[in-house]
Amino acid sequence: MKIGSLKILVLCFLLSACQSGTAQKTTDDIIINELSSELSSLDKVIKMHPNQVLYIDFWATWCKPCIEEFKHKDDLKAYADEKGFKLLYVSVDRSSAVANWKKLIEANDLKGSHYILPVDKYPPMEIAEINGNRKSFRIPRYMIVDKEGNIVENDAPRPSRIRALKTLISNYL
């Protein structure tokens, strides 16, 4: 699958089925987004961050390896602040997990912009498209978007591999 198609698919899933259109700031650095149907593609989310490199973390409230990676959030956030790239967190959970999703964001002090992709609203094969046409979408998963808004890394290093991540993301800063 071409990266451009992947970007469009990810953003369509991320934004098309959400009902409300507000962003709730819980602190100066944590923004929980409740999306609207007006934001109908990932391109529109990316365009909300023009000329920014984005590091996107796909996770879920039930995923222990995902939550384990949050231990490395401070080093990741410090590096993001130093180099000027943005952190976006996308939860692939059921709609019923919204309260737990918000609780985990705050409990782990995950600074960045947060979105939820309700897996119960999308057909499994559509979610698999995000994962390069495989039959399942594995998490944790990380992506890098360049300043032009292109997904340039579909399987970027985890925060626990900060050295590898620094080396890779520096190519796009």
Q: Which residue has the higher pLDDT, 24 or 49?
A: 49
Per-residue pLDDT at 144: 95
Show the 3-state SS of 13-64. Answer: HHHHCCCCCEEEECCCCEEEEECCCCCCCHHHHHHCCCCCCEEEEEECCCCH
Report the 10 Å Cβ neighbour count for 90: 25
Q: Which residues contact 125 (CB under 8 A, 6 or more apart)?
A: none
CA angle at residue 78 from 142 to 167, to 5 degrees? Answer: 55
Q: In this structure, what CATH number is given to the domain that contains residue 21? A: 3.40.30.10
Distance CA 66, CA 153 (A): 18
* pLDDT tens digits, one per residue of 49-72: 889 999 999 899 999 999 999 999
Residue 17: give the domain boundaries. 3-172
Number of structural domains the chain divides into: 1
With tokens 């609207």, the residue in question is 36
* pLDDT tens digits, one per residue of 67-107: 999 999 999 999 999 999 999 998 888 888 889 999 999 99
